[in-house]
Each structure stands twice: as structure tokens, then as C-alpha cells.
């Protein structure tokens, strides 16, 4: 249940990549690019604020020859809309290679990029993978008996009080309730759904029109109340109320303990405020915008600690566990308050109930390799 959406954390200058010419070509024919991975001298270790990058051979990347790289290319093209300075020069070639074969893309990567194993100075190369998703929820524009739980825009003068009111204070103090009046975007049926939406950082709301048609909008992260994040799953575990901190376990507990729901919710003082965005048919094919400022791609975008891996970096991810087995190219395009450390990633699964089932159960070992431009 990692929270991966949140305010961008500056980690690198952002530049605008030059548009690709109408018939751009790579420096040399793709199939002719030399690959001397087995004999070239490895570069030195690179030091980041929170991690070490240790150079390795391409042969050290598990599953590199088997990944369907074209599935990741859309995510890479998205990163090229807002590339970091070190990666911007590759973007014209990335665009050309969107029409190349997987073997051509793989050979180009081996020619242009150097893989580095990401390590923690304290704990080495092993880390933690979690997953997140975009909830899709039924909502109402007005409070109703079936939809009593409000979602809010940032209140006026939010910054005048830091930290702002806690979750409990927002529901109990007259001063806080007055500040929120008129800031409601929509109402949900279930307070646990509202909490889940805030933890994930964004979601899609479906409103039923008078003619029976569904109208869908996206709620995107706008701000928080600057209170510390508290895991309700951790609270339930500490109370010995559940055996695992998954959303199904939390919902089962809520069904059996309706009188204690507020107690559970108030264990997390942090609240997220949202902004509403229109959702076109094209936008509906991508996830919300991550901290890099580009839409996320299901299965190919991850949230990272930007002090370990800069936004927009292509990353090789390997994680084997009871829920998912992954050996694939992904792009570092997001972050979050729970995504902290050198070898730490949150894997964007997609949207809807099925994605939520997967995301809520992923908590497994992780290894990462950044793919950085050669000099």
C-alpha cells in the first residue's frame, strides 16, 4: 500500500527535448552499431545522494534478451516529453526506434547505454518492490445517503497553517469544517475507498448522468495537509486485528468492526486534496501524471526515490515473488512519500479493481539497474 503519487521532488534540471525531424535517423544504421560489451573497460562507480551505481555487463541483467521492449517504448516516449538534461540527447533516436524491431532496440541500448546496478551503501543491491494503481470509483456530485463521504479541493489559505488540520480534526473541529465548506469535488459511498484514493494519489470517478450514461473524470493529486503519513495497515497489525496489511484484509475488518472505522482512519493524520481533470478517450489509455510530469504507462512506469534514480531514467527491474515475476525495462516517472531509499520502487499496475487486487498484494524482493548514457 505504498503511496506513490505526490508532489514532484526536484532531482535534476528538466529540458525540452528537440522535436524529431520528419525523417530522423540514428548516427549509424541500427544493425551496424558496434557492441563491445564483453571487452570494453567498465566505467567507475557513480555516487548518487542515496545510492551507488556499480557498472556491470549487459549479460548481468536477468531476462534482458527476452523482454518485449516495444511495450516499454511508449513509456520512454512519454519521458522524452520532459527529459532530464543527461537523457535529452537520446530522445530523437528513441523516437526513431519506436518503429524498430525488438532486436534493433536492444542493440541500440547496448551501444548507447551503460547498465549500473543500484546499491544502497548500507544494505547492498537488494531492496523492496510494492505496487500501486488508479482506483475507479462510483461517485456523486452532491451528498446523498448512498454517497456521504466528501473529497476535497485544497482549501483556501491552506499554506497559512503548517501543518494543516489532521484527518480527525477535519471531521470534528468547527474551524476545520468551515474551511472545507464549498471545497467538495465529489462524494463517495465508502470512507475506505476515499482513504485508498488518497493513498494511491489519484483516481477515476464515474458519475451517472440523468440519461443513464456514465461520465468519467480523473482526480489528480493537488496537495496534502502536511501531516505525517500513518499506515492503517500497520495500525491494524499493531492492534493484532489482521494477519496481513492488504486491502481485502482491511475491508474484511471494517465489515466486522463498523464502530471502529473512524478510529482506524484517524490513525493516519495525512489527507490528500485533489484537482479534477477531464479524461479524454486518449488520456484514458494512460495513467495519471507522475512526478516527472508525464502520464504513467501500466506495467512500464515505476515510482522511485529521485535522490537515488533521477526521473526519466530507463531502469531494468527484476523481482520474483508470489504475486508477480518481473524482468523488464521500466521508466522512473513518479515518486511518493513511502518510496524512500536506494533500491526501492513502486510498480504502476494500471487502473480498476483487478489492478487493485494485484497492487494490494505486491511486497517482494527487488533489484534495479539504471541504464545511463555512455559518454
Output the pLDDT for position 24.
42
- Residue 301 has a pLDDT of 98
Could you tell me if residue 37 is inside a domain?
no
SS3 of 151, please?
A: strand
Can you give the pLDDT at residue 213?
A: 83
Residue 49 belongs to some domain of the structure = yes
**What pLDDT was estimated at residue 29?**
53
- Which residues 6+ apart lie within 8 Å of 181 measured at CB? none
Examine the domain organization and report whether 142 and 228 are in the same domain.
yes
Q: Is residue 104 part of a domain?
A: yes
pLDDT of residue 12: 39
**For 127-141, how does the pLDDT look when each residue is reduced to its tens digit (9 = 90+)?**
999 999 999 999 999
C-alpha of 309 from chain center: 14
151 shares its domain with 270: yes
Cβ-Cβ contacts under 8 Å for 263 (sequence gap 6 or more):
none
- CB-based burial of residue 231 (10 Å sphere; 0-12 exposed, 13-18 middle, 19+ buried)? middle
CATH number of the domain encompassing residue 359 = 2.40.40.10
Domain co-membership, 63 together with 145 = no
pLDDT at 214: 87
The answer on 234 and 329 residing in a single domain is no
Total number of domains in the chain:
2
Query: How many other C-beta atoms are found inside a 10 Å radius of the C-beta of residue 143?
Result: 13
pLDDT digits (tens, 9 = 90+) for 279-296: 999 999 999 999 999 999
Q: What is the mean pLDDT of residues 172-193?
A: 96
Task: Say what the pLDDT of residue 139 is.
Answer: 97
Q: What is the pLDDT of residues 315-367, one digit of tens each?
A: 999 999 999 999 999 999 999 888 999 999 999 999 999 999 899 889 999 99
The model's confidence at residue 234, banded by pLDDT at 50, 70 and 90, is very high
Q: From CA 199, how far away is CA 202, in angstroms rounded?
A: 8
Strands 136-139 and 52-55, sheet pairing: unpaired
CA distance 317 to 328: 5
Q: Which residue has the higher pLDDT, 264 or 212?
A: 264
> Do 169 and 267 belong to one domain?
yes
Does 138 fall in a domain? yes
Mean pLDDT of 72-79: 97
For residues 102-116, average pLDDT: 97
Same domain, 191 and 63: no
pLDDT at 180 over 80: yes
> Looking at the DSSP assignment, which residues form a beta bridge with residue 218?
204, 277
Give the confidence band of 20 by pLDDT, cuts at 50, 70, 90: very low
Q: What is the pLDDT of residue 34?
A: 55
Q: What is the pLDDT at residue 33?
A: 55
Total-model pTM: 0.84
Which is nearest to 24 in space by CA: 91, 101, 75?
91
Structural domain containing residue 328: 42-131+298-373
Average pLDDT, the chain: 90
Judged by DSSP in three states, 175 sits in: helix
More confident call, 307 vs 27 = 307
Same domain, 190 and 307: no
- Give the pLDDT score at 210: 81
Average pLDDT for 81-88: 96
φ/ψ bin of 256: left (φ > 0), alpha (ψ from -120 to 50), beta (otherwise): alpha
- In the beta sheet, which residues pair with residue 186? 151
What CATH code is carried by the domain that includes residue 137? 2.40.240.50
Instruction: Tell me, yes or no, whether 89 and 187 share the same domain.
Output: no
pLDDT digits (tens, 9 = 90+) for 24-71: 445 445 555 555 566 779 999 999 999 999 999 999 999 999 999 999
Amino acid at each position: 500500500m505504498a503511496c506513490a503519487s505526490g508532489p514532484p521532488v526536484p532531482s535534476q534540471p528538466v529540458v525540452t527535448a528537440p522535436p524529431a525531424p520528419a525523417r530522423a535517423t540514428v548516427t549509424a544504421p541500427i544493425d551496424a552499431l558496434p557492441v563491445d560489451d564483453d571487452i570494453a573497460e567498465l566505467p567507475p562507480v557513480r555516487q548518487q545522494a542515496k545510492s551507488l551505481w556499480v557498472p556491470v555487463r549487459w549479460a548481468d541483467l536477468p531476462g534482458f534478451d527476452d523482454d518485449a521492449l516495444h511495450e516499454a517504448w511508449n513509456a520512454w516516449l512519454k519521458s522524452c516529453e520532459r527529459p532530464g538534461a543527461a537523457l535529452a540527447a537520446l530522445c530523437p533516436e528513441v523516437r526513431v526506434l519506436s518503429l524498430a524491431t525488438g532486436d534493433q532496440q536492444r542493440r541500440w541500448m547496448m551501444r548507447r547505454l551503460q547498465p549500473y546496478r543500484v546499491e544502497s551503501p548500507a544494505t547492498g543491491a537488494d531492496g523492496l518492490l510494492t505496487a500501486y494503481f488508479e482506483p475507479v470509483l462510483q461517485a456523486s456530485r452532491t451528498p446523498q445517503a448512498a454517497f456521504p463521504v466528501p473529497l476535497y479541493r485544497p482549501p483556501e489559505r491552506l499554506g497559512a497553517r503548517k501543518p494543516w488540520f489532521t484527518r480527525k480534526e477535519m471531521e470534528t473541529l468547527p474551524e476545520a469544517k468551515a474551511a472545507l465548506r464549498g471545497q467538495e469535488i465529489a462524494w463517495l459511498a465508502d470512507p475506505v475507498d476515499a482513504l485508498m484514493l488518497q493513498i494511491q494519489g489519484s483516481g477515476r470517478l464515474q458519475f451517472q448522468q440523468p440519461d443513464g450514461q456514465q461520465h468519467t473524470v480523473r482526480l489528480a493529486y493537488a496537495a496534502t495537509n502536511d501531516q505525517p503519513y500513518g499506515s492503517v495497515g500497520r495500525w491494524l497489525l499493531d492492534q493484532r486485528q489482521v494477519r496481513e496489511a492488504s486491502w481485502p484484509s482491511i475491508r474484511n475488518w471494517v465489515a466486522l468492526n463498523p464502530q471502529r472505522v473512524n478510529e482506524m482512519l484517524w490513525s493516519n493524520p495525512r489527507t490528500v486534496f485533489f484537482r479534477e481533470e477531464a479524461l479524454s478517450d486518449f488520456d484514458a489509455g494512460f495513467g495519471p501524471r507522475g512526478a516527472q510530469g508525464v502520464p504513467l504507462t501500466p506495467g512500464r512506469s515505476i515510482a522511485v526515490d529521485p535522490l537515488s534514480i533521477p526521473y526519466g531514467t530507463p531502469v531494468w527491474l527484476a523481482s520474483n515473488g508470489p504475486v508477480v515475476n518481473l524482468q523488464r525495462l521500466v521508466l522512473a516517472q513518479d515518486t511518493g512519500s513511502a518510496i524512500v531509499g536506494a533500491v526501492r520502487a513502486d510498480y504502476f499496475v494500471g487502473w480498476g479493481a483487478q489492478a487493485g487486487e494485484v497492487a494490494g498484494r505486491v511486497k517482494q524482493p527487488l533489484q534495479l539497474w539504471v541504464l545511463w548514457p555512455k559518454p
